[in-house]
Amino acid sequence: MTTVLSPHPDLDDNILFDRSARTRWRIGFDRWIGRLLPLLFLVAILPILGMVYWVSEQALPTLTWTIIVGQSPYATDQLGVPIIGTFELMLIATLLSVVLGLFGGVATAELLSPRAASVVRMTANMLVGTPSVIIGFFGFFVFVLYFGWGLSLIAGAVTLSMFMTPYIFRTADLAFTSVPRHIREAALGSGAAPTQYILRIATPIALPQILTGIFLAMAIGVGETAPIVLTTTAGKLAPTSLTSPVTFLTAIIWDGFNQGSGSPFFVLAFQAAFLLMVVVVALNIVVRVVAARYQKRLEGLYQ
């Protein structure tokens, strides 16, 4: 057997040395980043846990069932009216944003031309980056003044839905776009109409991601204050119609902290904040569990 010698043995040795050095650096980087990530997680989570403990410590000693369900128009230690107002605001805003967001996601992923879809996506991205106070001013001028709805439940809910819709749209667009193309081709090739494919095949596959987007929009919307403050006014009673005034939990938090520790609304602000945290965590758990169970039914579709 004849051995072929390299004309540049020193160069070959340098190349091997460089490769081994890069390999050692990558192995070392992977090892240290694996140790650093848990530390970064603790740095991020500890302030959040501290805030949760602080709010809970202030709210729980005096939080009772009477405070949660009480709806007296003259009491300063009851949250029944703000809770009902927040629920009605979120219900109307979520319904509107889900309809608009899902329709937009289906349109950009399945119906529109690439140029039209890119325009819609760019518009949604611009809305996501728009400050909430700007959306609140828009809702004030359009719904409160121009349409004549006044400072009311419907004006606040529609304005809040404008803030929530882009989040649901972006998630729905990504969910429908990520459905494997061979499934779409097989469905349409078998004679299914586009609407049948969207409703019976694409929607069940994309549903876990869509649920996550809806929860994200709800979690962001329930903590918003500016769009609602500019389009509603506080009421002593729960809303009885779409044009009624409405009181919501984030307004209680804002007013309570602004009035200082001597105000009777100060402790109420902590109690409202605690209830909001409980609602957000509960929704998160429920949606994650439902999405995980639903995802198991779809195993094998992407293989």
Higher pLDDT, 96 or 286: 96
CATH number at 185 reads 1.10.3720.10
Supply the mean pLDDT for the chain.
81
Do 82 and 272 contact (CB within 8 A), yes or no?
yes
Express each pLDDT in 14-31 by its tens digit: 554 455 666 666 776 667
How many CB atoms neighbour CB 300 within 10 A?
6
**Domain range holding 231?**
97-297
For residue 109, being part of any structural domain is answered with yes
- Other beta carbons less than 10 A from residue 194's beta carbon: 14
Considering the domain boundaries, does residue 172 fall inside one?
yes
pLDDT of 48 strictly over 90: no
Confirm whether 46 is domain-assigned: no
- Residue 142 has a pLDDT of 92
In a domain, 64, yes or no: no
| pLDDT tens readout for residues 220-247 | 888 888 888 889 888 888 888 888 888 8
Residue 190 lies in a domain: yes
pTM of the predicted model over 0.85: no
Query: Which pLDDT band, with edges at 50, 70 and 90, does 11 fall under?
Result: very low
Q: Does 59 map to a domain?
A: no
pLDDT digits (tens, 9 = 90+) for 102-113: 999 888 988 888
Looking at the 3D structure of the chain, how many domains does it have? 1
Q: What is the mean pLDDT of residues 279-285?
A: 81
- 204 occurs within a structural domain: yes
Given this model, what pLDDT does residue 161 score?
Answer: 92
- pLDDT higher than 90, residue 95: yes
DSSP 162-230: HHHHHHHHHHHHHHHHTS-HHHHHHHHHTT--HHHIIIIIIHHHHHHHHHHHHHHHHHHHHT--HHHHT
**Is residue 30 a part of any domain in this protein?**
no
Between 55 and 295, the higher pLDDT residue: 55
Which range is least confidently modeled, 66-75, 97-106, 247-256?
A: 66-75
**What long-range pairs does 265-269 form, CB within 8 A, spacing at least 24?**
265/76, 267/58, 267/59, 267/62, 267/77, 268/67, 268/76, 268/77, 268/79
Assess whether pLDDT exceeds 80 at residue 164.
yes
pLDDT for 39 equals 80
